[in-house]
Amino acid sequence: MGDRVRVLFVCLGNICRSPTAQGVFENLVKEAGLGDQIVIDSAGTGDWHLGKAPDQRARQAAQGKGVEIGHLRARQVSAKDFGGYDYILAMDRSNLTDLEHMKPDWYLGHLGLFLPFAPQSRYEQIDEVPDPYYGGFDTFERVYELIHQASLGLLDHIRQHHLRGQGQRGQSHD
């Protein structure tokens, strides 16, 4: 799979949660000086929103935190993605079940839920990023926060397991 670490975020529609995760994680990775070390994308298990920009509410919640996701466009996950990503991270169990059915036998990467990478998810006893589609704006803000926490944890995990000593923070802390 090459030298770079490849991460794919997956939700149902690819217009709320996974594009938010892509935007948040891309920002963190850039800030850490690791933009050329980590490849990031997102996709949906469903096909209803193909080619569409993120939901206005997701976009607004992200913009409120300085993260622009309006340029992203929805695409559907496919079996081919298992050849391209070391980490395939599902927002909820339903997404994960769909991905498990698609997973080829030879896949050796990490297929799992995203939220457990957030340090506090264990004691808060939640491991899914809830589907915000039928919720209010407060649900989108909550989803943003969960995604931000999980993104911080994921970056730490990748640094420890794949990129020891690289990037700005690594140089000052390792």
Nearest residue to ligand 4NP, by Cβ distance, number only: 13
Question: Alpha carbon 16 to chain centroid distance?
Answer: 11
Residue nearer to ligand 4NP on the CB measure, 5 or 129: 129
Catalytic residue among 41, 57, 131, 159: 131
Asked if 59 touches ligand 4NP (CB under 6 A), the answer is no
Residues 4, 55: Cα–Cα separation, whole Å: 30
Instruction: Output the six-digit token pair for 130.
Output: 């809830």
Which residues have C-beta within 8 Å of that of residue 4, sequence separation ≥ 6?
36, 37, 38, 39
131 a catalytic residue: yes
Asked if 42 touches ligand 4NP (CB under 6 A), the answer is no
128 within 8 A of 115, measured Cβ to Cβ: yes
Q: Least distance to ligand 4NP from the beta carbon of 167, Å? A: 29
Asked if 131 touches ligand 4NP (CB under 6 A), the answer is yes
Residues 90, 62: Cα–Cα separation, whole Å: 19
Q: Which of these ranges, 12-20, 120-128, 149-157, 159-167, lies near ligand 4NP under the rule CB under 6 A?
A: 12-20
- Residue 81 identity: D
- Which pairing describes strands 87-90 and 5-11: parallel, antiparallel, or unpaired? parallel
Residues 78, 103: Cα–Cα separation, whole Å: 9
Asked if 17 touches ligand 4NP (CB under 6 A), the answer is yes
Residue nearer to ligand 4NP on the CB measure, 123 or 134: 134
Asked if 11 touches ligand 4NP (CB under 6 A), the answer is yes
Active site residues: 11, 17, 131
Residues found near ligand 4NP in the complex (CB under 6 A): 11-17, 44, 48, 131, 133
